[in-house]
């Protein structure tokens, strides 16, 4: 009897997990399609990185726009765009970006974000900084009241990793080196848990001032201009 009960509960848990994943994918797709409506012919369009952006890239390829100049925030997205027949242009050749579409690991109703779970935070921050408008697309599981449950990524120059980690401990965090991972820029990532990010703007400034930090995955000084939160029921728009 116990054996069958264990199978039942294990199967039920797996079914619930799969259903949750499908609902998240549905929310990601809805947010991605909503962002696509903001894309206009002739735009310089920045494309971010991540599973939600993958849906956006796929939809973009299915509904091609004329004369788009695409700027990518990562080698991963560049490869996916190219595989679907979409050419990518260097940011230096484009100048300002009209629209940047990217996801987030966490987002608040104040449009502050944590990004960098995929390790592309520096290039993402550069493209966001160059963009006239930044649309962030997430499923509703990414919407939080306060940032910080997701470990905060910090890209560091390799020789500075231990030094930066000690400074992050002084700031109240628990840094962990993301081993066997190198960013597109040839650097390393430290993921920081348990930071008090009640003031994201102040924390972003504080971490960015540590020597050896390339950038931190807090997008508070330059947060999103528009947040599209997808769910199984629809898309919530936050400005």
Going by C-beta distance under 8 Å and a sequence separation of 6 or more, which residues neighbour residue 33?
A: 55, 59
Helices (H) and strands (E) in the chain, counts: 7, 13
Contact 99, 60 (CB under 8 A): no
Distance CA 107, CA 83 (A): 30
Distance CA 104, CA 43 (A): 23
Going by C-beta distance under 8 Å and a sequence separation of 6 or more, which residues neighbour residue 69?
A: 43, 44, 45, 89, 94
Q: Is 124 a catalytic residue?
A: yes
Contact 230, 138 (CB under 8 A): yes
Contact 165, 185 (CB under 8 A): no
Distance CA 152, CA 162 (A): 16
| Choice among 62, 79, 124, 233 that is catalytic | 124
- Among all residues, which ones are annotated catalytic? 124
């Amino acid at each position: 009897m116990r054996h069958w009960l264990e199978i039942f509960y294990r199967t039920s848990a797996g079914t619930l997990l799969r259903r949750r994943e499908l609902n998240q994918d549905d929310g990601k797709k809805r947010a991605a399609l909503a962002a696509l409506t903001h894309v206009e012919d002739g735009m310089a369009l920045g494309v971010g990185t991540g599973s939600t952006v993958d849906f956006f890239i796929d939809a973009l390829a299915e509904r091609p726009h004329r004369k788009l100049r695409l700027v990518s925030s990562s080698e991963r997205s560049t490869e996916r765009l190219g595989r679907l027949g979409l050419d990518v242009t260097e940011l230096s050749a484009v100048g300002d970006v009209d629209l940047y579409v990217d996801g987030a690991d966490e987002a608040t109703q104040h449009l502050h974000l944590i990004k960098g779970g995929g390790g592309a935070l520096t290039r993402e921050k550069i493209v966001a900084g160059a963009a006239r408008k930044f649309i962030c697309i997430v499923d509703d599981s990414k919407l939080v009241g306060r940032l910080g449950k997701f470990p905060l990524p910090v890209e560091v120059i390799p020789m500075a990793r231990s030094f930066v980690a000690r400074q992050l401990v002084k700031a109240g965090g628990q840094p962990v080196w993301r081993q066997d991972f190198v960013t597109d820029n040839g650097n390393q990532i430290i993921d920081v848990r348990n930071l008090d990010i009640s003031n994201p703007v102040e924390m972003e400034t504080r971490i960015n001032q540590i020597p050896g930090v390339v950038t931190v995955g807090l997008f508070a000084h330059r947060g999103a201009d528009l947040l599209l939160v997808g769910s199984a029921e629809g898309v919530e728009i936050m400005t």
